[in-house]
Amino acid sequence: MRRTPDHPNLLVHAHPLIEHKLGILRDVATPPPTFRRVLGEIAGLMTYESLRDLPTRTREVMTPIKACSTVELAAPVTIVPILRAGLGMTDGILRLVPEARVGHIGVQRNEETHQPVEYYEKLPSDVADGPVLVVDPMLATGGSATYAVHYLKRRGCGSIGFLCLVAAPEGVQRMAEDHPDVEVHAAALDERLDENAYIVPGLGDAGDRVFGTL
């Protein structure tokens, strides 16, 4: 992983496997079944480092040989995909952390104003009792991402991270301004947003590519 001087809140997961798989997702010729599979694979690879600071506690267990001290997670972990594209990352994360609960926040971008509009929410009642990882393939303007984080903070969540595949500098900066305590994990920091607020070069509309609704 590496930090960029201009964005101290951003961690880029620069790994050959992640970069190889991201290239598959960027390819316009990649069909939805392959896109879904590879998206989940990247999410799983990135989760390992994204959850490095999970709180733990010790407990005693009996091995076949003798008693020993081991480590277990000290608080429930909640994954919160931003609907709908974030769903494509969830299975890959759960394969690594099957103990995690999954909440959902539905936020869509108004295509005229580019502002977030909430349409659905379902979270564990004790979501504030442990760390939360918000996931969405794209961090473009940052509107949906910062809105979701703001909503979680209103629910009392204090330990929140954000995981995406591709980030635009504008979205990373927006997160830093609105939520300086939230670390952004991305597979790549792209060039910029275009006039339609799409990431350049990006990988297109991730939701459409996941679900085949192009």
Known catalytic membership, residue 109: yes
Catalytic residue among 26, 101, 178, 205: 205
Concatenating the DSSP letter of every residue in the chain gives: -EEETTEEEEEE---HHHHHHHHHHH-TT--HHHHHHHHHHHHHHHHHHHTTT--EEEEEEE-SS-EEEEEEESS--EEEEEETTTHHHHHHHHHH-TT-EE-EEEEEE-TTT--EEEEEEE--TTGGGS-EEEE-SEESSSHHHHHHHHHHHHTT---EEEEEEEE-HHHHHHHHHH-TTPEEEEEEE-SEE-TTS-EES--S-HHHHHHT--
Known catalytic membership, residue 154: no
Catalytic residue among 113, 126, 192, 194: 113
Known catalytic membership, residue 194: no
Known catalytic membership, residue 113: yes
Catalytic residue among 26, 37, 101, 109: 109
The catalytic residue positions are 109, 113, 205, 208
